[in-house]
Amino acid sequence: MAGRIVIISDTHLGRPKCAALSAKALRPIWKDASRLIINGDIAEIHHPNHADAAGEQVIKLFEYCERDGVILTLLSGNHDPYISDLRHVHIAEGNIFVTHGDVLHPAIAPWSPSTPRIRIAYEKAISAVDPEDRDHLISRLSVSRYASAQECQALANAASQSSIMGMLLRPWAILQVLHYWKVVPRMAAHFTKYHSPEAKFMIFGHTHRPGIWHFDDMTVINTGSFGFPGRPWAVTIEDRQLSVWRILRRSDTYCLAETPVRTYELPVRVSSPSALNTRPVSERPSAAVI
């Protein structure tokens, strides 16, 4: 691991509201970084009304990062399931496990009006996987990607009601969100313990609720969202330190706060993480290691 790595998530580019303003507005966030990782829901690729604008912003992301000499790594989420082949990454000798978070629940987003369709798709996909491989990390991520794509298909056929206004029309969905906010940090810790046992940090997004939670020797970090409720965080990794930062909006751009919310020292490991053995033999683990 060399240089400074910046991790953010849920920029939702291309959406006119409840999203990052633009790729250009994000540019100060990766100042002095060597790599930028955007951990899912980068752009509203899944929504027929926003897909064109989302695609344009993704192209601009790559252009700005190339100009700045920054390597851009995109991890796919449930709003952009096929924007990248990567669904997770291990960083710093396996000390840090990063994935969007949609893999944590078979309904992907249990508050969504498409939940029944997503559940059916998930069960169909998991039943098609060899029983011996169903608990592999890659299998779980692939199945959740397929299920997320079914929500995309639902959006192509009907107007979405997963917006804030749509949720107000379905008040029980708000209760589902609040419940999920409460339980998902522990779910994330359990998932990481099983699939990436050497990881001391798990970083995800998806739920739009930023926070830091500690479970025994595991620290779970959610980087929030540029959408509702609009409190994005960033994680930086540099010189064997992991720092969590609030992202501030300054007029028409974003920047990191002057001081971090929290800073942690990363342990030193000599060997590669055995967590890579959770992948099926056919997978190439080097594609998901930084």
- Closest among 1, 2, 21, 102 to 61, alpha carbons compared: 21
The mean predicted confidence, pLDDT, of the chain is: 89
The predicted pLDDT at position 83 comes to: 96
The predicted pLDDT at position 117 comes to: 87
Q: Give residue-wise pLDDT tens across range 29-39.
A: 999 999 999 99
% residues pLDDT > 90 (the chain): 74
Q: Give residue-wise pLDDT tens across range 122-147.
A: 999 999 999 999 999 999 999 999 99
**What is the CATH number that goes with domain 5-106+171-288?**
3.60.21.10
Residue 113 pLDDT level (bands cut at 50, 70, 90): confident
Beta strand 233-238 with 241-250: parallel, antiparallel or unpaired? antiparallel
Residue 280 pLDDT level (bands cut at 50, 70, 90): very low
Contact (CB, 8 A) for 41 and 18: no
- Structure-token match 């804030």, residue found: 164
Phi-psi region of 208 (alpha: psi -120 to 50; beta: other; left: phi over 0): left
> What contacts 146, CB < 8 A, 6 or more positions away?
81, 121, 122, 125
Q: Give residue-wise pLDDT tens across range 186-219.
A: 999 999 999 999 999 999 999 999 999 999 999 9
Distance (Å, rounded) from C-alpha 29 to C-alpha 6? 8
The predicted pLDDT at position 281 comes to: 40
Span 217-242, average pLDDT: 95
